[in-house]
Amino acid sequence: MLQQTIQTIAPLNEEAMARARARQDQLTKPAGSLGRLEDLSVQLAGITGVLNPPLARRAVLVAAGDHGVTAEGVSAFPSEVTPQMVLNFLNGGAAINVLARQAGARVVVIDAGVAADLPEHEDLIPAKVAPGTANFAQGPAMTRDQAVQSIEAGIAALEREYRRGLDIVATGDMGIGNTTPSSAICAVLTGADIDQVTGRGTGINDEARRHKVEVIRRGLELNRPDPNDPIDVLAKVGGFEIGAIAGIILGAAARRIPVLVDGFISTAGALIAAGLSPLSKGYMIAAHRSVEPGHQIMQEHLGLSPIFQLDLRLGEGTGGALAMPVVASAVAILNEMATFADAGVSEKIE
């Protein structure tokens, strides 16, 4: 499934992008005056192949998994919080549920590796690779086969939602301790220093952050992930939900669906996806920039510019849900705004 999906991903539609740029130049405004909205409309045309893609069918796919590295004391919360929050998502009570309702999006949870049994629910996709990863400070987080399985879980989830009807998707995450593997992935795939890319996660203090840096350093020295092999990086120091997020992105790109990449953990998944398919970067839209220090480094490495910066650090797909109306507005501007000819304006506005 993974190789077939990667082979299906095509470059953006250059003809549609050229038509979008040409129309932008004819709209009744100074050229470039709507900034990123103009860029987004061109990218959306390239992704979908049309200037006015439907964006009504929206979903936030929240991938969930637990992490053995929490045994090292890298998080302010215990792993038991992961399944508790998944149940909160399914009951509609979390921040992502509130923001998704505002955006007109459904919330679907992928159990990629939660260390607990979860009840059946129409909005829960059971895809548990294992009940949490192993502690990567003591050995690989997972096997290579498990890494591939986690990515394919994300692809399968995207396909499921595509069959339900899907025009735009946002990635989300839930997994206590998952900023630790995300920092490790960031350090390996961007080449940045571990201390530079490691933040406070759920709100740990200075001493705990220094300990977290040393745990990551120990794990990287022990496992030696290959930066030229994203599956090896995921297997050595990653997380099942991070693999699933990579799969969501690859699946969306294969289906020519725009994907709003949320925060730090989602962007770790984007790094894995981009390593497997550089073409997938064209289908990514960075929703926001979080306060995690590695997030900017990841985004710059991927060539992504965030839509906004609100000092978010929750995850769940919250930034992605917030960005959905902005993306829809970009498409509306391109298609609903009058051209100079339509408005009877004889000269372009300079």
Q: Is the dihedral of CA 64, 285, 306, 324 positive or negative?
A: negative
| Whether residue 66 sits in one domain with residue 25 | no
Residue 31 belongs to domain spanning: 2-53+333-343
Question: Do the Cβ atoms of 240 and 145 come closer than 8 Å?
Answer: no
Q: What is the pLDDT of residue 347?
A: 62
Mean of the per-residue pLDDT values for the chain?
95
Distance CA 114, CA 133 (A): 9
Task: Give, as one character, the DSSP assignment of residue 29.
Answer: S
Task: Supply the residues annotated as catalytic.
Answer: 316
Q: Read off the pLDDT band of 348 (50, 70, 90).
A: low
| Whether residue 49 sits in one domain with residue 64 | no
% the chain with pLDDT above 90: 87
What are the tokens at 300?
Answer: 């710059």
Task: Give, as one character, the DSSP assignment of residue 116.
Answer: S
| Whether residue 312 sits in one domain with residue 190 | yes
pLDDT tens digits, one per residue of 157-166 = 999 999 999 9
Q: Read off the pLDDT band of 34 (50, 70, 90).
A: very high
In a domain, 219, yes or no: yes
In a domain, 25, yes or no: yes
The DSSP secondary structure of 287-334, one letter per residue, reads -B--SSHHHHHHHHHHT---SB-------TTHHHHHHHHHHHHHHHHH
Q: What is the pLDDT of residue 160?
A: 97
Phi, then psi, of 283 in degrees rounded to 5? -95, -5
Q: What is the pLDDT of residue 201?
A: 73
Answer yes or no: is pLDDT of 109 > 90: yes
Q: What is the pLDDT of residue 339?
A: 86
| Whether residue 194 sits in one domain with residue 48 | no
CATH code for the domain of 186: 3.40.50.10210
Strands (E), 55-179: 58-65, 105-113, 124-126, 168-174
| Whether residue 319 sits in one domain with residue 296 | yes
Answer yes or no: is pLDDT of 346 > 80: no
Single-letter code of the amino acid located at 301:
H
Q: Read off the pLDDT band of 124 (50, 70, 90).
A: very high
Answer yes or no: is pLDDT of 70 > 70: yes
CATH code for the domain of 24: 1.10.1610.10
pLDDT tens digits, one per residue of 292-313 = 999 999 999 999 999 999 999 9
Domain count, the chain: 2
| Whether residue 72 sits in one domain with residue 36 | no
Residue of 112, 233, 115, 130 whose CA lies nearest to 182: 233
Ramachandran area for residue 139 (φ above 0: left; ψ -120 to 50: alpha; else beta): left
What are the tokens at 178?
Answer: 């998952």
Answer yes or no: is pLDDT of 66 > 90: yes
| Whether residue 247 sits in one domain with residue 113 | yes
Answer yes or no: is pLDDT of 350 > 60: no
List, in order, residues 6 or more apart from 139 with CB less than 8 Å away.
Answer: 222, 223
Answer yes or no: is pLDDT of 349 > 60: no
Average pLDDT over residues 60-67: 97
| Whether residue 46 sits in one domain with residue 67 | no
In a domain, 249, yes or no: yes
Average pLDDT over residues 248-268: 98
In a domain, 350, yes or no: no
Q: What is the pLDDT of residue 2?
A: 96
SS3 339: strand
Radius of gyration of the chain from its Cα atoms, rounded to whole angstroms: 20
In a domain, 348, yes or no: no
Q: What is the pLDDT of residue 207?
A: 81
Q: What is the pLDDT of residue 341?
A: 86
| Whether residue 150 sits in one domain with residue 38 | no
| Whether residue 194 sits in one domain with residue 228 | yes
Single-letter code of the amino acid located at 121:
H
| Whether residue 221 sits in one domain with residue 137 | yes
Q: What is the pLDDT of residue 251?
A: 98
Cβ-defined contacts of 10-14 (< 8 Å, 24+): 10/256, 10/279, 11/279, 11/282, 12/43, 12/46, 12/47, 12/282, 12/283, 13/45, 13/46, 13/47, 13/48, 13/49, 14/46
pLDDT tens digits, one per residue of 184-235 = 999 999 999 999 899 877 677 878 788 899 999 999 999 999 999 999 999 9
In a domain, 349, yes or no: no
In a domain, 97, yes or no: yes
pTM over 0.85: yes
| Whether residue 219 sits in one domain with residue 135 | yes
Judged by average pLDDT, the poorest of 22-26, 45-49, 95-99 is: 22-26
Q: What is the pLDDT of residue 6?
A: 97
In a domain, 256, yes or no: yes
Answer yes or no: is pLDDT of 1 > 80: yes
